[in-house]
């Protein structure tokens, strides 16, 4: 081949991942799953709307993360990724309606973007699934997850950096809450489908460098969502909830949650053992259908 000849087309790992077929999911759930999820996110007897089906049961908006959940597809599909080096980087849920107490749902996950940091530096893989009612087709929520694949930089695609998140307000938090997690939180939360042994098996945890099994990042995410939604007026509903996971939390540890109130939402950051564990968080809300919109800001 002469220097002027075009290069032959070569498929890269980037191309293979972007074309990866993740199977669709069908999911039926009931009020028992709603209660189990709330328990895994720290709900207790003083929150009957979250754990008592005889009350007007409320579904935590963050429960969208476990609905029509594809499981550990990074490990279970032929991705070619080093699954042992993958950590959960962030999660966002967008909600188009209140989640029902029971349902029959469908979702089709897909990879939407890859931000390659280069050989030896890892890559961020962004996946998304839209959760729909299986009968009516109504879209209930969209879940976007970022995974940091520490052992998989240099995938062969474009080097597109991840946009930096907006800065937190440059002032003291409006409120700081202490969220207690239970010693049993990880053992309960894993029953929602995240059965990674890191959260239950001491040997796996020690191999990964932890003294004992760590709490699921999404359980901490649910603890925070539970605390923030308790501050909302009844005529408001959550439309978006997102944060980054930056340090592990052990079951039984407290999360110190800083909250900034803003028009139409809240910003937040969570600390544990002197480290930031949940960063660049935001919750957005809007009036429920039929509720007055209130004064514009």
Q: Of 199, 216, 223, 271, which one is the catalytic site residue?
A: 199
Q: Of 194, 216, 271, 280, which one is the catalytic site residue?
A: 194
Give Cβ neighbours of residue 203 (< 8 Å, ≥ 6 apart). Answer: none
Cβ–Cβ under 8 Å, residues 277 and 271 = yes
Measured at the CA of 65, the angle between CA 179 and CA 180, to 5 degrees, comes to: 10
CA pair distance 297, 290, nearest whole angstrom: 20
Q: Which residues of 121-216 form beta strands (DSSP E)?
A: 123-133, 139-149, 175-180
Torsion of CA 226, 232, 233, 239, to 10 degrees: -90
195: annotated active-site residue: no
Could you tell me whether strands 175-180 and 236-245 are parallel, antiparallel, or unpaired per DSSP bridges? unpaired
Structure tokens at 152: 């998989």
271: annotated active-site residue: no
Give Cβ neighbours of residue 273 (< 8 Å, ≥ 6 apart). Answer: 253
DSSP-derived letter for residue 138 is -
* Crossing angle between the packed helical segments 217-229 and 31-40, to the nearest 10 degrees: 100
Structure tokens at 106: 């469908």
Structure tokens at 25: 């999911």
- CA-based nearest residue to 254, from 186, 177, 202, 195: 177
- In sign, the C-alpha dihedral spanning 259, 56, 252, 238 is negative
Task: Write out the catalytic residue numbers.
Answer: 194, 199
């Amino acid at each position: 081949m002469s220097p002027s000849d075009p290069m032959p087309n070569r498929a890269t790992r980037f191309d293979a991942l972007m074309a990866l077929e993740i199977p669709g999911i069908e999911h039926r759930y009931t009020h028992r799953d709603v209660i189990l999820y709330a328990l895994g996110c720290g709900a207790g007897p003083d929150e009957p709307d979250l754990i008592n089906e005889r009350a007007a049961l409320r579904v935590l908006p963050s429960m969208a993360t476990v609905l029509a959940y594809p499981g550990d597809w990074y490990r279970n599909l032929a991705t070619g990724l080093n699954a042992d080096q993958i950590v959960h980087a962030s999660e966002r849920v967008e909600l188009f309606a209140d989640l029902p107490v029971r349902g029959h749902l469908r979702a089709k996950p897909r990879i939407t973007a890859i931000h390659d940091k280069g050989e030896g530096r890892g890559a961020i893989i962004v996946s998304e699934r839209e959760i729909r009612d299986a009968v009516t087709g109504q879209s209930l929520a969209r879940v976007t997850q970022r995974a940091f694949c520490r052992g998989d930089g240099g995938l062969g695609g474009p080097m597109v950096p991840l946009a930096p998140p907006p800065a937190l307000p440059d002032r003291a938090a409006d409120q700081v809450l202490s969220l207690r997690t239970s010693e049993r939180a990880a053992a309960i939360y894993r029953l929602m489908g995240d059965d990674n042994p890191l959260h239950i098996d001491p040997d796996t945890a020690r191999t990964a460098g932890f003294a004992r099994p760590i709490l699921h990042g999404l359980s901490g995410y649910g603890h925070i969502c539970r605390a923030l939604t308790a501050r909302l007026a009844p005529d408001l509903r959550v439309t978006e909830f997102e944060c980054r996971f930056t340090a592990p939390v052990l079951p039984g540890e407290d999360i110190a949650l800083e909250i900034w109130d803003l028009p139409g939402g809240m910003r937040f950051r969570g600390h544990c053992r002197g480290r930031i564990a949940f960063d660049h968080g935001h919750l957005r809300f809007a009036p429920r259908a039929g509720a007055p919109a209130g004064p514009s800001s």
